[in-house]
Amino acid sequence: MTNKLKLLILLFFAGVAHQGISAKSDFEIIRQRVTENLVKEGSDDGRVKMLLESFRADSTWPGINYSDLSREGFQHGRHSAALVTLARAYNVRSSAYYKSKRVKNTLEAALAYWVRNDFVCENWWHNQIGTPDNLVRVMLLIGDKLPGELVTKTQPIIGRSTSWSITTSMESASRWYLAKPVIRES
């Protein structure tokens, strides 16, 4: 073989190897698109301001009865939805709260409160769809900026999205699956 041909073959395989190393996997591309969709929804800065101003020192928000875990009274969905609102604001460039340390600290404290108390409702939907879906959104939006221990402690709650509930809510299942890389393995 001539030296030119050897060089050409070497360059070809070097290019192929480089593409294989630098190319994103299909999984990463889908995850990126889902995250971009979450950010595209924008940020409600008025709501973020209200959440920040009303956040209590005990890491709760007023107007939520944290002791009522009944089917009819479970208001905790507002807490987990607030986490999503804060995570979205943290990531939306046009938001006044983009990359805000206060937003991140509030979200971290509120998520830690949730994980510490591990609220389980008498209504399966909140446990297997509502809460896991909201927590997956949080992980997709800001999970890589949160302490690893907190992310790890969130995993079992997200994991309650069982196969039966997954077939009931494919959107929730898709988000759970796509958030798994954010959820750090111990």
Q: Report residue 154's pLDDT band, with 50, 70 and 90 as the boundaries.
A: very high
**Mean pLDDT rounded to a whole number for the chain:** 82
3-state secondary structure of 63: coil
User: How high is the pLDDT of residue 52?
Assistant: 98
Query: Please, is 126 exposed, middle or buried when counting C-beta atoms within 10 Å of its C-beta (0-12, 13-18, 19+)?
Result: buried
* Range scoring the smallest mean pLDDT among 46-60, 62-76, 153-167: 153-167
CATH number assigned to the domain covering 25-179: 1.50.10.100
Position 43 pLDDT exceeds 90: yes
The residue-averaged pLDDT of 167-185 equals: 50
Domains of the chain, by residue range, sit at 25-179
CA distances from 107 to 7, 80, 135 (A): 55, 10, 11
Position 117 pLDDT exceeds 50: yes
pLDDT in tens, 56-99: 999 999 999 888 888 878 888 899 999 999 999 999 999 999 99
Position 103 pLDDT exceeds 80: yes
Residue 25 contacts residue 127 (beta carbons within 8 Å): no
The residue-averaged pLDDT of 144-152 equals: 94
The residue-averaged pLDDT of 148-157 equals: 92
The residue-averaged pLDDT of 41-56 equals: 96
Q: Report residue 13's pLDDT band, with 50, 70 and 90 as the boundaries.
A: low
The residue-averaged pLDDT of 103-110 equals: 98
